[in-house]
Structures are given as C-alpha cells and as structure tokens.
C-alpha cells in the first residue's frame, strides 16, 4: 500500500530543491522567421550560445548577436512561431542529460528518448559546449583500444585517448569498421557512444540492430540526429555526444565515441551559417569550419592519473567524393586527428575487406600503446606489404620472373589475404598473434592461393578446440619465445596437412 503522505512528502522535497532562475528575464520579439532561423529585437544582455525560450514552448539557440537584432536557430516549431511572438532569455547555455541511465538507449541530441522505452530521468546534465582538458591534465596514450580488426590493430594501432579518422568514399565500409570496434569492446570496460549526424534513418536502424544483436547496446548509447531533423539538432549532436562521453571520462572511465559522420556535420553547419547570413568561404563553408571540428576533437583526450586517468577515444568518420582526400573538410579533419584509416573503393570492390589502404593510413600515437607482442611481430608487415605492392606492378607486364620474385609475390598476395576479415568477425589479441606469426612464416607457402582466408578461419577454430594450451601460453605483453613460435607453427603445419593433404599443397606457386 502506498502512503499518500509519503508521495506528498517526496514531492515537497523535490519541489524545495527546484532552483528558480530568478524572476528577471530579458525579452525580445520575433521580427523575422524563415528556414528555421529567427531574428529577434530586444533581448538585451543575451549571451552567445544562450538558450532562448520562444512563446509556445519552443527552444532556440542565440548564434548571431548583432547591432539591433539577435539571430537564433530554432530546434523545433519553425512552422509554429509567429511574427511578434515573445522570446525570453534563459541565462543558461544548452545542456545534455548525462548518466549511466543513457546506456542502452537511443536519444536525441538533447537527451530525450527516441526508442520508446520510456522517459530518461537522470537528474544530471553537462553543458554541450565545454572546454577541452588543459595540457597539464592530460596523460600519455599508453593503453590500446583493440578494434578486433587485424589490419588495423597490427599496422594502425589505436590507443585509448587517440583520435583516429576513418575516411573513404561512400560504400567502402567506414561505418562497418566503427561498428566492429564497438562490438569488440564487449568485456573491455569501455563505454561506447555512437553519434549519428544527418544519417538516413534506415541506415541508422540497421546499425542499431547490429549493435543490439551483437549485445553491444548494454554499454552503448546512440545519440542520433537523422537527415530529416532540424539542422541545429544535427549541428549540436556531436557536441552532445561528447558531453556524455566527458561525463564518463571525468569519472576515470574509458570511452569510445564514433562521429558518423563529420562531413554531414560540416554541411549542416554550412546550411545554418548561410541562412544566418554569415560570410561564405571556400566551398561556401563559413570561416570557422575548422574550429568547428578542432574544438570538438580536442575534447577527446587521455587524462593524467591525477585526474582519474579516464579517456575519450574518438573515431570521427569523413566521407570523401571520388577518393579526394585533399578536399576542404577531409584535409581539415586529417590535420586535427592523430592519424587516419583510409578506405578505398577500388580495394573494396576487388574483395579486400576491410578496404584499408595500408600505405596512406597512419596512426601517430597508437604505436606506443600497442601490445608488445603484436608490435614485435608486425614490425615487418608494413615493409613486406609495400615491397609486394611495388613488385605487383611489375607483374602486370607478364614477363618471366625468377623463383625468388615469384615467392615474394605469392607471399605478398597471401599476406594481403590474411588481412581480409569478414564483418562482425573480430579477432582477439592472441588470435591475431597466431595469424601474424603464421602469415610471416614458411607455412603460408603451403596454403593454396585464394584459400588463405578459409585456412585462417579454420586454423583459429582448430587452435581453439585442440590447442587451447598454445593460445593460453601467449602473453600479449611479453615476448613470444622461439619455442612457443615453433609450437604455433607446428600446429599450423598440422592443420594444413589435415586440410589440404600433402599432394595439392605445393601446386599453386
């Protein structure tokens, strides 16, 4: 039986805690409204980025403070506000709801639920725009963030607190890499935030379903603005997501945030700026489009131990047109981030998936965070692949090749095949070590061409079922002894003989 007095007391207590903003407010009246932009006269004392209340319960954001009017963007109700309506200042800037309650939920950039699972009540919020951690508050990136993707974790390692750009044309698997990375954080104690900016609702639904069926929603929050949302919502979405990430980071937790994607964010900001009549610059983007992304990505950081040691790892995504990474927004974001994963449609279409261009992809800080064993055995990988590609160009002329060259070519092709990986099939660190050791040994010569991926999948199954002792013996943070290496190769050889038999194993070279 619920006691009515209890409810009454609870309510009283809550009401007594309500902060009143004070009775003095500044007002203005709408003198222009169009395309979601309003101009307001009056409103003396209004701040930049201040939240405004428009009569009728709508909210707007003051962005242009001019001589005799204030330009603001409406979050909703652009067809409802009327000429002459009163607008009130609130004295606060935009805030995003934060809290553990948001994990597993899909929210709009203001923290309101969009998944129909009920209202989210956290009682906590953080300003959407917030200064990045100061220099002295930052620590060194020293812990890896495993993506579970062999090509990335071996050659373009990402550390916790790093900002690694995923860049490529449409349909090259950019989102797939980000989603795979989120899926791989299961049990890694990393909170994930997926921010969708101006995405198609259909592709977002697909992503959410993938996360849900992969069991990743437990530690993930999706902050979403779709293509039909008001432009200002798309504009604030990444900052809101970042505010939520900061909430966890300042508690000392590790956070992974995906911004999908920043080119659409720049387009939304351009639309807003042009409608606000700000001067247009290159490609009609406003002058501060660089600052738009730099201030967002600077908020990703690894905090020093004194500050709790939390981190925000950012994976911003940028879509290029026809592979042009020297366009305005791509070059901007490349220069802000600590490296990029460059995806190519040519590779994607020729079956190399993930379509990572190893030559153009770099990680500027992740190397020091890479697991020791992986760093050791993948050191030669990049060079080997580069040599292979160089030779492969000559091969196209079809001239007779000596045995040594043919061997390099066949090994290179198999190495490339080893780096192919099906979507949603993440490797653990130990599995990666096995694959890397095998791919750089004589064993790989025995695998028939075009069968490498199949062999690798089978080998890992075989190891898990029959040679778990070897997997257990691998220490990712230590040295791989010659003895262990030999045992792993012997197991790989065993499996090879088991699958292909001796007869056909050497026929392909």
Partner 1 sequence: MIKDSPVAKIVVSEKPDDDILRMVAEFVKARGCYKTEYIIDPDILGGIIIRIGDKVYDGSVRSRLETVRRAL
Determine if 15 is a binding residue for partner 1 (CB under 8 A): yes
* 22 phi/psi in degrees, rounded to 5: 90, 155
Distance between first and last Cα of the chain = 81
Please count the other Cβ atoms lying within 10 Å of the Cβ belonging to residue 18.
Answer: 6
Determine if 407 is a binding residue for partner 1 (CB under 8 A): no
Nearer to partner 1, 59 or 426 (CB): 59
Helix 429-439 to helix 403-418 angle (10° resolution) is 170
CA distance 140 to 306: 12
Nearer to partner 1, 48 or 291 (CB): 48
Determine if 406 is a binding residue for partner 1 (CB under 8 A): no
Q: Quick one: which of 1, 4, 18, 136 contacts partner 1 (CB under 8 A)?
A: 18
Contact 253, 193 (CB under 8 A): no
Determine if 91 is a binding residue for partner 1 (CB under 8 A): no
Determine if 19 is a binding residue for partner 1 (CB under 8 A): yes
Q: Is residue 105 annotated as a catalytic residue, yes or no?
A: no
Determine if 428 is a binding residue for partner 1 (CB under 8 A): no
CA-based diameter of the chain, in Å? 94
Select which of 9, 25, 364, 464 is catalytic: 364
Least distance (Å) from partner 1 to the CB of residue 82? 18
Q: Cα 73 from chain centroid? A: 28
Nearer to partner 1, 6 or 472 (CB): 6
Determine if 322 is a binding residue for partner 1 (CB under 8 A): no
Nearer to partner 1, 126 or 163 (CB): 126
Site string (33-62) toward partner 1, x via CB under 8 A: ---------xxx------------------
Q: Quick one: which of 35, 65, 88, 445 contacts partner 1 (CB under 8 A)?
A: 88
CA distance 98 to 223: 12
Contact 361, 155 (CB under 8 A): yes
Structure tokens at 98: 């934060």
Contact 144, 371 (CB under 8 A): yes
Among the residue ranges 15-23, 373-381, 420-428, 442-450, the one whose residues contact partner 1 (CB under 8 A):
15-23
Contact 76, 109 (CB under 8 A): no
CA distance 111 to 113: 6
Least distance (Å) from partner 1 to the CB of residue 41? 8
Least distance (Å) from partner 1 to the CB of residue 11? 8
Least distance (Å) from partner 1 to the CB of residue 124? 13
Strands 220-226 and 254-260 turn out to be: unpaired
Least distance (Å) from partner 1 to the CB of residue 52? 13
Report the catalytic residues.
Answer: 364
- What are the residues binding partner 1 (CB under 8 A)? 11, 14-15, 17-21, 23-28, 42-44, 88
């Amino acid at each position: 039986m619920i006691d009515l007095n209890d409810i009454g007391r609870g309510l009283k207590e809550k009401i007594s805690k309500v902060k009143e903003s004070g009775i003095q407010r500044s007002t203005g009246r709408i003198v222009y409204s169009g395309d979601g932009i309003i101009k307001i006269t009056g409103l003396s004392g209004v701040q930049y980025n201040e939240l405004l209340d428009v009569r009728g319960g709508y909210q707007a954001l003051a962005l242009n403070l001019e001589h005799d009017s204030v330009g603001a963007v409406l979050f909703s109700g652009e067809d409802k506000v009327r000429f002459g309506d009163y607008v009130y200042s609130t004295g606060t800037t935009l805030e995003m709801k934060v809290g553990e309650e948001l994990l597993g939920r899909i929210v709009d950039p203001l923290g309101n639920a969009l998944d129909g699972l009920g209202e989210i009540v956290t009682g906590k919020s953080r300003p959407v725009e917030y200064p990045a951690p100061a220099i002295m508050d930052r620590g060194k990136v020293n812990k890896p963030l495993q993506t579970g993707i062999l090509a990335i974790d071996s050659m373009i390692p990402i550390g916790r607190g790093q900002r690694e750009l995923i860049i490529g044309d449409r349909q090259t698997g950019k989102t797939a890499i980000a989603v795979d990375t989120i899926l791989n954080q299961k049990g890694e104690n990393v909170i994930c935030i997926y921010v969708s900016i101006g995405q198609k609702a259909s592709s977002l639904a697909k992503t959410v379903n993938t996360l849900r069926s992969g069991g990743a929603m437990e530690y993930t929050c999706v902050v979403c603005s779709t293509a039909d949302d008001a432009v200002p919502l798309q504009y604030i979405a990444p900052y809101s997501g970042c505010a939520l990430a900061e909430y966890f980071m300042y508690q000392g937790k590790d956070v992974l945030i995906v911004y999908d994607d920043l080119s659409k964010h720049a387009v939304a900001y351009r639309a807003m700026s042009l409608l606000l009549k700000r001067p247009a610059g290159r490609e009609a983007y406003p002058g501060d489009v660089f600052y738009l992304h730099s201030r967002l990505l600077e908020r990703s950081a690894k905090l020093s131990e004194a500050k709790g040691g939390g981190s925000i790892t950012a994976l911003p995504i940028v879509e290029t047109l026809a592979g042009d990474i020297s366009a305005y927004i791509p070059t901007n974001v490349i220069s802000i981030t600590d490296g990029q994963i460059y995806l190519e449609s040519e590779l994607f279409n020729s079956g190399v998936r993930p379509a990572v261009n190893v030559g153009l992809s770099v990680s500027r800080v992740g190397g020091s965070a890479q697991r020791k064993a992986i760093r050791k055995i993948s050191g030669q990988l990049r060079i080997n692949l580069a040599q292979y590609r160089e030779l492969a160009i000559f091969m196209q002329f079809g001239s007779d090749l000596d045995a040594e060259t043919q061997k390099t070519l066949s090994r290179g092709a198999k190495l490339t095949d080893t780096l192919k990986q099906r979507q949603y099939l993440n490797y653990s660190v130990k599995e990666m070590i096995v694959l890397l050791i095998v791919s750089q040994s004589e064993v790989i010569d025995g695998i028939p061409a075009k069968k490498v991926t199949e062999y690798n999948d089978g080998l890992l199954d075989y190891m898990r079922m029959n040679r778990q002792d070897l997997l257990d013996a691998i220490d990712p943070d230590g040295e791989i002894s010659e003895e262990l290496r030999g045992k792993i190769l012997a197991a790989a050889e065993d499996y090879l003989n088991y699958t292909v038999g001796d007869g056909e194993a050497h026929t392909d070279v």
